[in-house]
Amino acid sequence: MTEKVLMKGNEAFAEAAMRGGCRFYFGYPITPQSEIPEYMSRELPKRGGCFVQAESELGAINMTYGAGAAGGCVFISSSSPGIALMQEGLSFMASAEVPAVILNVSRCGPGIGGIQPGQADYFQATRGGGNGDYHIPVFAPYNMQEAVNLIYEAPSLAYKWRTPVIILADGMMGQMMEPVALPPEKPALEAKDIASQADWAITGYDDRGGPQNRRVVKSLRLQPEALEEHVEHLFARYAKAAPEFTRYEAIGLEDAEIVFVAYGTIARLTLEVMDMLAEQGIKAGLIRPISLWPFPEEAFDKIGPATKVVISAELSKGQLLDDVKRAVCGRFPVELIYRTGGIIPTSLEVTEKAKAILEGLQ
């Protein structure tokens, strides 16, 4: 195994993206992820890559769209309100099938909100904040190693499936330090190889034998039938890609009285809650979605007959809950434990609330 290093989350994320082959970063400073553009501005040029401090997140996402359309391997990052500004570009990229990896080191909203960690961007990420019929795969790691592994893998998934990929982390993960094993450096795609490797990339048609092979990257389709056909095409590809993107961890579902559903930072805390409940003789299980879209509905089929309640534990006001209810589909009662405003509940608080829910059912 690779030797572990102790790194700040944001720097580990940036390092993982570069090791995964990303060579272009376009960003705008925003707390709590500003260490990423700082790190990229230092490290990317050393690897022959390119860093641009954009005029805004709108500028950044459109540079990403341009670089991705040109076949470049792009990784960008921002935080909640910055990601909100990027939605226009994400909708364009989803339609034009331009790959890139977008990291949201989220804070809490609405509006400018606060800078403490939150998960209230769940709808923004999974429902798409941009216009139109599209989806973007979303991964939500719960610790540093998982985040590093997912960011490292994401560029190749984005390239393979010609889609933006969102990584949803939070301010706590960005700011904390934890030992991680960094994966080995993947070879980066060089400009001269783009034309032969990226079959959508605009590079000038001389690279492809002449004007008969001219390429256009676009989302405009004024003919309703053509647009409908394109939407169907996008969704057929989502269906084909789903097995590769759908990921989750299921713990102790067979005989659990309480099944928690939680992702990211709160999932981590839920592990402690499960221990605390076990000490009091209550068996709790966990479904931890690693992909938020596609949502791992199949995990819910593994919930055993002993389960009395499924609890969505989240740092948002019942956003994950929507998908949990859909996946449970009436088979079990579904309840919510949450905090907002950037407050992370204590494990004791979650334990007490879960116990109260359980007692309320009896």
Partner 1 sequence: MKPVFTYTNGMLPVSTHYCPGCTHGIAHRLIMEVLEENGKLGQAIGVAPIGCSVMAHQYMNVDMCEAAHGRAPAVATGIRRVHPDKVVFTYQGDGDLASIGMSEIIAAAARGERFSTFFINNGIYGMTGGQLAPTTLIGQRATTAVEGRTKAQFGMPIKMCELLAQLECAVYVERVALNSPANIRKAKKAVQRAFAVQEQGLGFSFVEFLSTCPTNWGMTPSDALKWVDEKMIPYYPLGCLRDPEKEASK
Partner 2 sequence: MIQKLFFAGSGGQGVILMGQMIAYASMYENKEVTFLPSYGPEMRGGTANCTVVVSDKPVSCPLVYEADVVVAMNLPSMTRFESLVKPGGMLFYNSSLIPQKPTRTDIQTIPVPANDIAMEMGNSRAANMVMLGAVAHGSGVAGDEALDKILAKVFSGKKAALLDLNRKAFHAYSAQ
* Contact residues: partner 1, CB under 8 A: 24, 26, 50, 52, 54-56, 58-60, 62-72, 74, 88-89, 92, 96, 191, 194, 202-207, 210-211, 214-220
User: Residues 278-283: contacts with CB within 8 Å, 24+ apart?
Assistant: 280/351, 280/355, 282/257, 282/258, 282/354, 282/355, 282/358, 283/252, 283/255, 283/256, 283/257, 283/258
Of these partners, partner 2, partner 1, none, which one is at the site of residue 348 (CB under 5 to 8 Å by kind)? partner 2
Dihedral angle over CA of 125, 126, 129, 131, nearest 10: 140
289 and 322 Cβ atoms separated by less than 8 Å: no
Give 96 or 251: the residue with its C-beta nearer to partner 1.
96
* Cα–Cα distance list, 104 to 48, 124, 277 (Å): 25, 11, 32
Give 171 or 294: the residue with its C-beta nearer to partner 2.
171
Of these partners, partner 1, partner 2, none, which one is at the site of residue 184 (CB under 5 to 8 Å by kind)? none
Q: How far apart are CA 6 and CA 17, in angstroms?
A: 17
The structure tokens listed for 77 are: 């990052």
Q: How far apart are CA 269 and CA 109, in angstroms?
A: 21
Give 191 or 348: the residue with its C-beta nearer to partner 2.
348
Q: Site residues for partner 2, window 86-145 (CB under 8 A)?
A: 115, 143
How far apart are CB 274 and partner 1 at their closest, in Å?
Answer: 45
Site string for partner 2, 198-237 (x = CB under 8 A): ----------------------------------------
Give 115 or 194: the residue with its C-beta nearer to partner 1.
194
Of these partners, partner 2, partner 1, none, which one is at the site of residue 272 (CB under 5 to 8 Å by kind)? partner 2
- Residue 171 interacts with partner 2 (CB under 8 A): yes or no: yes
How far apart are CB 157 and partner 1 at their closest, in Å?
Answer: 20
Q: Site residues for partner 2, window 306-335 (CB under 8 A)?
A: none
126 and 113 Cβ atoms separated by less than 8 Å: no
Of these partners, partner 2, partner 1, none, which one is at the site of residue 52 (CB under 5 to 8 Å by kind)? partner 1
Of these partners, partner 2, partner 1, none, which one is at the site of residue 347 (CB under 5 to 8 Å by kind)? partner 2
Backbone φ and ψ for 108, nearest 5 degrees, come out as: -130, 145
- Residue 42 interacts with partner 2 (CB under 8 A): yes or no: no
How far apart are CB 20 and partner 1 at their closest, in Å?
Answer: 17
| Cβ-Cβ contacts under 8 Å for 358 (sequence gap 6 or more) | 257, 258, 282, 308, 309
DSSP state of 211: G
Q: How far apart are CA 337 and CA 346, in angstroms?
A: 12
Among 20, 21, 27, 32, binds partner 2 (CB under 8 A): 32
Backbone φ and ψ for 26, nearest 5 degrees, come out as: -125, 120
Q: How far apart are CA 154 and CA 151, in angstroms?
A: 5
Angle in degrees, 0-180, between the axes of helices 347-361 and 264-279, rounded to the nearest 10: 60
- Residue 268 interacts with partner 2 (CB under 8 A): yes or no: yes
Give 88 or 178: the residue with its C-beta nearer to partner 2.
178
Residues that bind partner 2 (CB under 8 A): 4, 6, 31-32, 115, 143, 171-172, 175-179, 268-269, 271-272, 275, 344, 346-348
